[in-house]
């Protein structure tokens, strides 16, 4: 205490001592101004000249060291700074102190916080010894910032309080730094506002940007996302003008983090990758580490577990090396989240338990409660109710002791869920009513009402169960309809959190309603939920796009979340030979309900849970895709899923439109065997639809006039210049590499040319011309058919690892993601995706499969022909040509697909070849194709209404160009 008094007295006595003309601080400030104004070389020459004249010129050494540091040549800077340091037993001067400050700044910029802290502590002592009060104040300010990350917020606040009344009012630059640091550590936003004004008066753009950054953080705390993004944008402009790459790295990282929180994942990734570039170029590795952690969060929310794992490993290593006590446990927790999302629950538990002591040491209350809740979730998934109750009780007690009343009340929902699992309906009811009493998250309210509906159903109160389920749907829809774009994106990702089933109990209640004679109400509720989920898919796909404003809203006006009733579906069926079969499944052994709608009306069937069928479905998929005809397994699945409904179908039904759910999306239905040993494909023309409402919408679309036009993209050139790919493109290339890379597909050009023979006008684009840039820029509405003969990647867990692969170039990486497809404007009656597994996609309980097919329907396609597993390009070419022949005979697309499958069966083709192909969308559409020409058709862009002479001229020109291109490609 006495020592602090002497230090304060010594500094106060020196505060107003007028420094000589050339002080160390002036040297540093003038050098910084020269760097920011771009007059770097002239200043360097000046100081080099002085140093050449006198190798002991301490001002020249300090100036050149500062220039090296601001040029991010830290090795040279530290070599020069070391020349100014004094020995421990010597009296330091101002140059030694400012050299120590510069050295500490360089270490802090690089995220080497313990080394920076050590240097700053020494600088405070040297400043006192040298009588340099301004240097001491600056060192204390910087030390408080560093200690907030190494020793905790309380220590940093105590350090900053030692400066009370000791920072000169007339030193605007130092006051700006002090005020903004106070705002950062002590909280009042007004301090940052004052600091920003002082920084402007002092002409300190870096300090001004720092204050803007703090003001943005305050806006984040109060939920003003737009204001925060605006302030961060201003800060970025100031830092760019000041050539401050260190500051820009932090600002860009925070911008990416904020965009991440509103679900703008594509734009967030762009900002974060810029932050990585700025941080690595300037050596500022702290925002690089946090940037990787933010990228891991985005990847995990996109269910891209491999990418998330890679990012978090880098973040963890960097934060451990930097001694970042806040970041390291956050990275550990993220590792645990990733393990939990991947189903590695034992590993996740160990990681959460490892992170908890560090979190407790830092006093991170929300993260501690969150870790215990995560452990509870895993125990519930394992049906370990004792362990689940233990973790939940610990979380509640911690929240109570810490005064975290919001968190304490927020756990009521989990206790209700636990009580339901234990069969304690009275306790569950009390907790649920407590949840519903609080005005809070509409998503939480929706979940609580669904659980309460289950509670009423288990008590036999079906009227109340139906009412609760209907109000849960309606209230959520009313709230969603009021959201702006950012709010809708936040909701779309929030409601489908990676380790939480948002609709648990929904399938249970629907099944109970259907069994008790309320099938009409159950079907309408199921369709309402499915429609909302389709819209959420649309929003999430748009949010993953790199381009600002890409929301993929082509079908947003037509796909509705309002539940459609069975009578409307029955009336909309095109004829009495068509039936719609809609499955509703759940998790944790919830029953499955099958709704069947024909012209005669609605019937429902209670089926086994998909959990009990999961192993059989997976095995059947493996066997079918390998060409094995698993007769007994096939019959077992038919008996479990279809036999009751097929037995009661009207005899005239020969077309099935299936709305699958959960793992049933992976099941090749038409490869199932019937009781008479026939394949389902031999009895019925089978197609898929995302929902009954989408099927009706497709039937009701106004189609363009009949035309015979085709665009085919085949055999793309995948090569790119080394070092060009980064970010999401790098992740996708790595994902493709896991499945064999991107080899050429020579058979695909033959497939495209064969397809072109069935139309009057065609454009066949090969190699570099089969590009993403063309697809996005071309007017596609004039094409009746789009045919993609290319590689595709569809990850069953992540939209971020799902894409068509076309040729890169013209600013595009070549990977066409689901959001990009949904943003197209199509008029196609048929899109053919002749790649591997193009009918697969992310399957999330309750919302179906979302990969490449649904976005194309959203973009305006009427039907999509896709594949369920890997096929070779020769088999694909043969099968698609068979489909085109049947289409040319006048058959509807669904009937043509069935005919091609029967034809394949007659030539004894293995099940893998024909069952791979699936139709999604409208099976009734007919195309204006012609019998194939015997001569090859040169590429010709289809233009409606062209005259014969114009068509011939274009034909000749295109033919000549194609010959020239062929010669170039051969070379």
Res 78: pLDDT: 92
Res 118: pLDDT: 93
312 closest CA partner among 325, 324, 300: 300
Q: How many CA atoms lie within 13 A of 424 on its CB side?
A: 12
pLDDT above 50 (res 965): no
pLDDT bracket for residue 122 (50, 70, 90) = very high
Res 636: pLDDT: 92
Res 596: pLDDT: 94
Phi and psi angles of residue 303, each rounded to the nearest 5 degrees, phi first: 65, 25
Q: Work out whether strand 830-833 and strand 841-844 pair parallel, antiparallel, or are unpaired.
A: unpaired
pLDDT digits (tens, 9 = 90+) for 238-249: 989 888 898 899
- What are the tokens at 811? 């600013």
Res 857: pLDDT: 83
pLDDT digits (tens, 9 = 90+) for 564-620: 888 999 998 988 999 999 998 877 788 899 999 999 999 999 999 888 888 888 888
Q: Which of 175-184, 234-243, 362-371, 718-727 has the highest mean pLDDT?
A: 234-243
pLDDT above 90 (res 642): yes
pTM, full prediction:
0.69
pLDDT digits (tens, 9 = 90+) for 414-430: 899 899 889 999 999 99
Res 795: pLDDT: 59
CA 166 vs CA 9, 394, 566, 577: distances in Å: 10, 46, 77, 88
227-240 mean pLDDT: 90
Q: Which residue has the higher pLDDT, 553 or 759?
A: 759
Res 799: pLDDT: 57
824 closest CA partner among 756, 768, 772: 772
Cα 236 to chain center, whole Å?
24
pLDDT digits (tens, 9 = 90+) for 881-929: 888 899 888 899 999 999 999 998 998 888 888 888 889 888 998 888 8
pLDDT bracket for residue 724 (50, 70, 90) = very low
pLDDT bracket for residue 499 (50, 70, 90) = very low
771-795 mean pLDDT: 84
DSSP 199-234: HHHHT-HHHHHHHHHHHHHHHHHTT-HHHHHHHHHH
| Averaged pLDDT score across all residues of the chain | 80
Res 599: pLDDT: 92
Percent of the chain as helix, strand, coil, to the nearest 5: 60, 10, 30
Res 945: pLDDT: 36
Res 581: pLDDT: 94
Res 879: pLDDT: 85
Q: Which residue has the higher pLDDT, 457 or 822?
A: 457
pLDDT bracket for residue 826 (50, 70, 90) = confident
Q: What CA–CA distance (Å, rounded) separates 294 from 289?
A: 9
pLDDT bracket for residue 535 (50, 70, 90) = low
Res 703: pLDDT: 67
Beta bridge partner(s), residue 785: 710, 830
Question: 692 and 597 in contact (C-beta within 8 Å)?
Answer: yes
828-835 mean pLDDT: 84
With b for 16 or more beta-carbon neighbours within 10 A and e for fewer, the 364-400 pattern comes to: bbebbbbbbbbbbbbbbbeeeeebbbebbebbbebbe
pLDDT digits (tens, 9 = 90+) for 376-426: 988 988 889 999 999 999 999 988 887 777 777 888 888 998 998 899 999
Res 943: pLDDT: 33
pLDDT above 50 (res 261): yes
């Amino acid at each position: 205490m006495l020592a602090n008094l002497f230090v304060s007295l010594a500094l106060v006595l020196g505060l107003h001592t007028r420094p000589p003309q050339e002080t160390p601080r002036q040297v540093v400030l003038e050098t910084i101004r020269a760097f920011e104004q771009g007059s770097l070389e002239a200043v360097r020459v000046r100081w080099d000249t002085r140093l050449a004249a006198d190798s002991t010129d301490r001002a020249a050494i300090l100036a050149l060291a500062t220039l090296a540091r601001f040029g991010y040549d830290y090795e040279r800077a530290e070599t020069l700074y070391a020349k100014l340091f004094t020995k421990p037993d010597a009296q330091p001067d101002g140059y030694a102190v400012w050299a120590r400050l510069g050295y500490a700044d360089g270490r802090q910029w690089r995220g080497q916080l313990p080394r920076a802290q050590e240097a700053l502590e020494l600088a405070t002592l040297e400043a006192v010894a040298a009588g340099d009060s301004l240097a001491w104040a600056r060192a204390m300010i910087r030390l408080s910032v560093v200690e907030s990350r190494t020793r905790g917020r309380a220590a940093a606040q105590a350090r900053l309080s030692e400066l009370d009344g000791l920072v000169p009012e007339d030193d605007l630059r130092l006051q700006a730094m002090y005020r903004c640091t106070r705002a950062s550590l002590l909280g009042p936003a007004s301090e940052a506002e004052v600091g920003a004004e002082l920084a402007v008066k002092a002409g300190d753009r870096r300090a001004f940007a720092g204050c803007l950054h703090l003001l943005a953080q305050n806006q984040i705390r109060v939920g003003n996302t737009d204001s925060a993004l605006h302030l961060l944008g201003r800060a970025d402009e100031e830092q760019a003008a000041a050539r401050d790459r260190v500051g820009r790295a932090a600002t860009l990282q925070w911008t990416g983090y904020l965009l991440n929180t509103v679900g703008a994942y594509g734009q967030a990734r762009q900002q974060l990758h810029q932050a990585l570039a700025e941080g690595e170029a300037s050596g500022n590795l702290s925002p690089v580490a946090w940037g990787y952690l933010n990228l891991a969060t985005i990847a995990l929310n996109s269910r891209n577990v491999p990418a998330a794992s890679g990012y978090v490993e880098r973040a963890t290593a960097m934060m451990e090396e930097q001694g970042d006590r806040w970041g390291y446990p956050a990275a550990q927790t993220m590792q645990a989240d990733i393990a939990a999302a991947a189903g590695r629950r034992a590993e996740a538990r160990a990681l959460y338990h490892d992170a908890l002591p560090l979190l407790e040491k830092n006093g991170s209350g929300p993260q501690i409660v969150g870790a215990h809740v995560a452990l509870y979730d895993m125990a519930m998934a394992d049906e370990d109710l004792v362990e689940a109750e233990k973790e939940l009780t610990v979380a509640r007690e911690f929240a109570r002791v810490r005064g975290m009343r919001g968190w304490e009340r927020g756990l009521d929902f989990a206790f209700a869920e636990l009580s339901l699992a234990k069969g304690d309906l009275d306790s569950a009811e009390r907790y649920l009513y407590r949840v519903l009493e609080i005005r809070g998250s509409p998503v939480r309210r929706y979940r609580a009402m669904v659980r309460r509906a289950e509670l009423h159903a288990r008590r036999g109160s079906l009227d109340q169960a139906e009412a609760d389920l209907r109000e849960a749907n309606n209230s959520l829809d009313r709230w969603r309809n009021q959201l702006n774009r950012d709010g809708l994106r936040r909701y779309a990702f929030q409601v489908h959190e990676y380790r939480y089933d948002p609709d648990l109990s929904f399938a249970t209640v629907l099944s109970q309603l259907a069994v008790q004679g309320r099938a009409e109400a159950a079907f309408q509720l199921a369709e309402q939920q499915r429609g909302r989920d389709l819209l959420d898919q649309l929003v999430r796909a748009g949010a993953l796009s790199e381009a600002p404003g890409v929301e993929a809203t082509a079908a947003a006006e037509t796909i509705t979340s309002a539940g459609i009733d069975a009578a409307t579906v029955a009336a909309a069926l095109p004829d009495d030979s068509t039936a719609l079969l809609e499955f509703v499944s759940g998790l944790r052994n919830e029953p499955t309900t099958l709704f069947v709608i024909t012209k005669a009306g609605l019937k429902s069937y209670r089926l086994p849970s998909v959990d009990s069928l999961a192993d059989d479905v997976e095995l059947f998929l493996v066997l079918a895709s390998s060409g094995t005809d698993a007769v007994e397994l096939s019959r077992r699945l038919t008996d479990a899923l279809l036999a009751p409904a097929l037995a009661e179908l009207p005899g005239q039904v020969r077309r099935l439109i299936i709305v699958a759910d959960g793992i049933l999306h992976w099941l090749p239905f038409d490869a199932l065997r019937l009781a008479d040993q026939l394949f389902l494909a031999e009895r019925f023309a089978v197609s898929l639809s995302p929902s009954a409402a989408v099927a009706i919408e497709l039937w009701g679309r106004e189609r363009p006039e009949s035309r015979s036009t085709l665009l085919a993209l085949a055999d793309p050139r995948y090569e790119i210049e080394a070092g060009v790919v980064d970010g999401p493109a790098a992740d996708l290339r790595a994902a493709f590499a896991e499945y064999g890379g991107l080899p050429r597909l020579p058979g695909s050009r033959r497939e495209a040319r064969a397809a072109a023979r069935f139309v009057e006008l065609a454009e066949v684009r090969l190699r570099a011309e089969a590009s993403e840039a063309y697809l996005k820029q071309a007017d596609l509405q004039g094409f009746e058919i789009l045919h993609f003969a290319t590689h595709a990647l569809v990850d069953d867990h992540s939209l971020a690892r799902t894409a068509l692969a076309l040729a890169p170039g013209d600013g595009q990486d070549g990977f066409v993601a689901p959001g990009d497809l949904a943003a197209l404007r199509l008029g196609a009656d048929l899109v053919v995706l002749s790649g591997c597994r193009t009918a697969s996609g992310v399957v999330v309980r309750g919302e179906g499969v979302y990969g490449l097919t649904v976005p194309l329907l959203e973009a305006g396609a009427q039907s999509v022909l896709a594949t369920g597993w890997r096929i070779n390009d020769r088999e694909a070419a043969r099968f698609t040509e068979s489909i085109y022949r049947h289409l040319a005979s006048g058959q509807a697309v669904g009937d043509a697909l069935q005919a091609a499958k029967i034809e394949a069966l007659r030539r004894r083709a293995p099940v893998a070849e024909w069952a791979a192909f699936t139709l999604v969308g409208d099976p009734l559409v007919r195309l204006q194709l012609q019998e194939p020409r015997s001569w090859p058709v040169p590429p010709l862009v289809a233009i409606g209404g062209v005259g014969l002479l114009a068509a011939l001229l274009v034909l000749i020109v295109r033919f000549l160009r194609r010959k020239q291109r062929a010669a170039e490609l051969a070379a």
